[in-house]
Chains A and B, each alone.
Chain A
Amino acid sequence: EDQVTQSPEALRLQEGESSSLNCSYTVSGLRGLFWYRQDPGKGPEFLFTLYSAGEEKEKERLKATLTKKESFLHITAPKPEDSATYLCAVQGGSGGYQKVTFGTGTKLQVIP
């Protein structure tokens, strides 16, 4: 069974204080690893897809990296508007059914 573990559960940063969120995973045949941002009371917002170890993607202050066992979401010089819960998910399996498994998320709070 595919598993996704995110750490830490919660993270509090001062504005401008860079840090990283971790997503450890076990999956049978990785088809893709996804990062989402979720604001309270809203649906997840897509950020990145990573497909293979060594791949990196960037968007503004966010950078996602991938190894064979984990992914990191690096946040550089965060701002208060980056406060949200960040979800990691993996898609595994072969054939026609490729289920996506989500982690429980890291709740990020950026303090001005």
Chain B
Amino acid sequence: EVQLVESGGGLVQPGGSLRLSCSVSGFIFNSYGMNWVRQAPGKGLEWVSFISFSGRSMYYADSVKGRFTISRDNAKNSLYLQMHSLRAEDTAVYYCTRDPDGYNFDWGQGTLVTVSS
């Protein structure tokens, strides 16, 4: 059974930092690209970042470029999102997803990040 389990969300002040993790099982992690997708409360889906299977290629939405860093540890079957300079508009549920070819095949349950003073 495929499982993606996000963790690391919480309440953080504007300007603060947070590191999200996604632990994966049930598929060969180092064969797939991975995404972070977020959803602000009551809003639609927004792609945040992608990392290739090897970790050599990373892409970011303009809204997070220069503030967020995606990474992965294939030995630990884990995906990460390091977030700095957080803003109120970064408040959202963050999902990690498996990306076989540009679409989001499997999703985690999400972790809520709240940026507020």
- The yes or no verdict on A and B being binding partners is no
